[in-house]
A and B are shown apart, each in its own frame.
Chain A
């Protein structure tokens, strides 16, 4: 069956969410999917747009990756604007060509409304919606003093925050008598205004701008209807949004009176093959300008395209919880008390700047709405009362009173019904979470990846954790930190037992603190701990049975039972003579040869018995083991630095070699990667490493706990302008603290994320020595450095240890199941199917 064509116009948050949802459904297989994005960038998170003026880049804000689109066979066409829809022939036109569709999804979003003010089209009159808009604002703000945002709503205050973070004196001009008129009442607006003024943003309410003319002191002058005026260097219009319905209009789809593509409950427009979702869609005379309802539409449409006759969009909750300029603002349900008979409870602490209002049904039994300013603490509880119609307590005022005044503690997760929506972005209910737990999920991370809860805006993170912990507890799941069935301890606890009691063998440890024989979880873990504590050879008789095969044979096992060899090449620097040795050895043993990502050479396909012979030759040529097999330091990648590079400001190769030599062989909870860049251009990609060092004019900046791989994480800046010795002392402490407290197979990135107190705490411990551990950590590293031995050298020189490297102890034959084929001039293992044919 040939596939039908599904075209999505718009690659914003909702368009992307639709694709994510749809790609996961069986129906996706029936379609060839093409998506057009007007912007040159992949869909990104507009909710957190102002972070772009902080540290965030497009990559941080991006919602998906080009790889994801490719893996899901979605043809992603960015920077290609659809200019027309031909409904009769079912095709769309772009400047690049014409594309047929069977089903068309409009996710064109909205555009900022610019009020019709005379002079609003001159330079430095800007809007706030896309990253390109933000770049324009940044350019306009360069070297000037003042910026004005027109519009005191949610987006306007976000924009004011953006101007403030650019160092401008920021003003907000609002037509209504208060800020956030949609979400707040006048008292709430007043508290918010005071808080924002205290933060240095000037707020002008009840001002209508009549004209914008050239200014005297600044670039522009805004004239208001009350004859006052304001001078400013730039103006950002953020006075609301309008649905982007131009394409739909020219295709003569039914459009609402005030704009918006009219859709039914299935998100289908007046043309049965055209659908609209998100801010461009008009449902029951409403445009939803928030992301959660857009996501709900996206899910509905994905279900409809799978033939789900029940799927329907039936409106969405518009409650919001925000932090605007650092001020908490929450608005729930019928915040203005428009329900007939509604009654109010208000709490207003002007001194603290806390305003809370509950709107209660006429019978006093249910919560209809609420407003919070200054502290969103009660938000989650109130939202659950409102959404689920939970009966209010006898004294509902306790829900918003401070606890010192007899306020009730938050609504326990137990009180929530199974239908309670915990995560509204991904529509995950408490029931969904319970099912995931019943299906075997036993930790927060698993719940998050399984249900997607709390992976949207993240606002429900605390509530989710409460629910998960509570449900696990109810099921009698002690949130176990036991390493395995043999040891009722975490890795960190075992480390302490070993260190404090001076335990030097696995047998002693399991006899005193565990039970049974051990297993493939606890043995390597204890092996690693023993290595860190006492640094004895990993193949000492007592330690041999603890090691994973890679450690046992000090090479990396490949799929056919052969091994690969990675000699250490510190900092990636290698002499031609040594390179020739590697080539010659590889040639003599027929080893497949590949350059690794860590600036080393990997030689594949050595059999067990060949390993010691190969290492004999490598050691003779001056190589050392590279520990590519161990949970230990892998490489210190470097760029060429000041010794060659025109831009380098420090000797990055020299530092990389020094670091690699210092930490080589250190056993740790998981592998550790370093990199050193010689200047801020960062060619060594240090910010994706566990330990990243970037040269500055004055020394070195240290970044910690980055990661590439499956879950990339940018390293955090930890200390700046360190000299060589300070750098090494700081790394000594960070590494040792990680090695002592990390969990089994926990990379530094996850370790930091799970460390209570996070980066700030780590800085306290390492830089300010708040635990008084500094000297001990440094001394421990010193011991390890002092007792380093090349593990392979020791083995090659010991005939007893070499005996271990026999394929078959009673026979010199080669392993009969290893089959090889040649590819691109080298040999590789034959695929299983090929082997079967050969057999």
Chain B
């Protein structure tokens, strides 16, 4: 099974919402992409599935920071997930996947490993 990084175009910059998230579908399942134009980096991608609430909702959470760590708050039960590591700040045993994300012109691309799909909720 290949672990090669594959850049997948998931949407265009016009689809992004500043300081908020959107959900995209990838071969690895649903992914939340967050766009913070005034920050570096300005793009983050983590799993869209909230393992505590058991629903695909993380892209709809509020983006912010907790002591400098960029986070999204789950809209269901308000746990915070790090946008950098996917770690849930309230529960050390919970983590969501993170993905590399980049801009190619106005194309937003997420790196998913081939074969990653089987591991993810879909």
Contacts and interface: CB of A to CB of B under 8 A. Distances in A.
Contacts of B23: 806-809
Interface in B42-83: 49, 53-57, 60-68, 70-71, 73, 75-76, 78, 80
Contacts of B64: 486, 516-520, 522-523
A473 interface: no
Given A549-B57, A810-B11, A518 B65 contact: yes
Contacts of A546: 62
B18 to A, nearest CB: 7
A518 B24 CA distance: 25
B15 interface: yes
A519 B60 contact: no
Given A552-B60, A553-B60, A817-B121, A520 B24 contact: no
A517 B73 CA distance: 13
Contact of A516 (B20, B57, B65): B65
Given A519-B64, A804-B17, A557 B76 contact: yes
Contacts, number: 108
Consensus secondary structure, chain A interface: loop
A541 B121 contact: no
A520 B62 CA distance: 6
A239 B60 CA distance: 68
A764 interface: no
Interface size class of B (residues with CB under 8 A): 35 or more
A541 B62 contact: no
A803 interface: yes
Nearest to B36: A517
A816 B49 CA distance: 11
A545 B11 contact: no
A809 B24 contact: yes
A485 B66 CA distance: 8
Contacts of A560: 54-55
A559 interface: yes
B33 to A, nearest CB: 9
Interface string A546-561: 1111101100010111
B73 to A, nearest CB: 4
Contacts of A189: none
B62 A817 contact: no
Contacts of A228: none
Nearest to B67: A485
Contact of B55 (A519, A544, A559): A559
A549 B75 contact: yes
A541 B19 CA distance: 10
A808 B24 contact: yes
A809 B108 CA distance: 12
Contact of A561 (B10, B15, B36, B56): B56
B30 interface: yes
Contacts of B80: 520
A612 to B, nearest CB: 15
A483 to B, nearest CB: 12
A806 B21 CA distance: 12
A545 B25 CA distance: 22
Interface in A563-577: none
Contact of B61 (A549, A803, A806, A810): A549
Contacts of A553: 60
A363 to B, nearest CB: 58
Given A519-B71, A520-B73, A810 B53 contact: no
A831 to B, nearest CB: 10
Given A517-B70, A809-B24, A817 B63 contact: no
A517 B19 CA distance: 9
Given A807-B23, A808-B30, A544 B17 contact: yes
B20 A548 contact: no
Nearest to A818: B55
Given A545-B17, A548-B62, A559-B76, A517 B55 contact: no
A278 interface: no
Given A520-B62, A544-B17, A817 B24 contact: no
Nearest to B22: A809
A306 B75 CA distance: 43
B60 A809 contact: no
Contacts of B1: none
13 contacts: A486-B65, A517-B19, A517-B36, A519-B64, A519-B71, A520-B61, A520-B80, A545-B20, A549-B62, A552-B20, A559-B55, A561-B76, A817-B55
Interface of A: 485-486, 516-520, 522-524, 541, 544-550, 552-553, 557, 559-561, 803-804, 806-811, 813, 815-818, 832, 835
Given A519-B64, A546-B62, A560-B55, 5 more contacts: A544-B20, A809-B10, A811-B24, A811-B25, A815-B30
Interface of B: 10-11, 15, 17-20, 22-25, 30, 36, 39, 49, 53-57, 60-68, 70-71, 73, 75-76, 78, 80, 121-122
